[in-house]
Structure 1
Amino acid sequence: MSLAAETRAAVRTRPWLLRALRAGVVSYTTAAESLGIEGDRDAVATALRRFEDDLSPADTETREVTVRMQSGVELAGSDAEAGPDAAGTEPLVSVGGERMVQGGGRLTAILVDGDVDAGALSAVVDRLGAENVVVDAAGVVGDRLVVVVPRSDGANALRLVEDAMADT
């Protein structure tokens, strides 16, 4: 494998570096050192520069979304465990049969409706993680993205999700 191919493969295993290259905010020499590729550091840095030139720029398209907060969310268990009383309770998030529903719980859901996808979910979870906000559940299906956080983090999470959606 050539040095350029090895460099590109190493970058692809580091999504954060790939995003940084697309955004044009990389110190090539420092990035080259961090990749651990055997060979001349300057040659790896040059391979990074060339790779960046071949990448499409970061997508800065504005998303049309509505962001809202819903407090009182709780873990309701699986549909099978919930019984007949839960038949009318639509889950906000359901993964592996576990449901997060509105019902007086200690959690808050941040709901984003509109132009959302897995990239938006990644941006939201990364932004919340950068601010040390615990994410209890998260998912995206169709035109809805949901993240569930502790109630005490709800207002802060709402602002962070709005910011993340503005930046994706």
Structure 2
Amino acid sequence: MSSDTVLDPVGHFDPAEALALAERANAAAHRPQLLPAWYGPAIGALLAAYGTSIGIARSSHADWLVLVNAVLFAVLMGVLVRIGARSTGVVGRLADLDRGWRTFVRGGTAAVLVVAGAAGLACAPAGGLLGACGGAGVGAGLAFWALMLLANQRIRRAPAAA
């Protein structure tokens, strides 16, 4: 092999093929990643724990504990959302959501609230205030987890953006 022979390990691409390949690579790089597998269960468990702790605080007439629970919930939720924002393209790009995703998020939020309310009402007769708050928290947690599974499914089916 002579020194003036140039090896082309990639193969030959005409300009149109190279441009198409670059566009596909760019679309893949900008496509949202799946939410981490731990995200839905972690936020769901946090919602369940928050609802239950509020029920315990209210049923034992420790109203000061409601504020402590709210602060802890906000801090832990902030940490989980920040970790999720750093590890995935969906949480980190909320401002770039298209209309379909905005509708999905609004509908999902409404579903979580409806499930939480229904679970709270269903558990109230048996468990009083503790049952209502705990049921609402568990219902919201399970609904959020299901919503995250649907979001990942939607991301998998989405075509790559051009």
Give your verdict on TM over 0.5: no
- TM-score, normalised by the number of residues in structure 2: 0.30
- TM-score, normalised by the number of residues in structure 1: 0.29
More strand by share: 1
More helix by share: 2
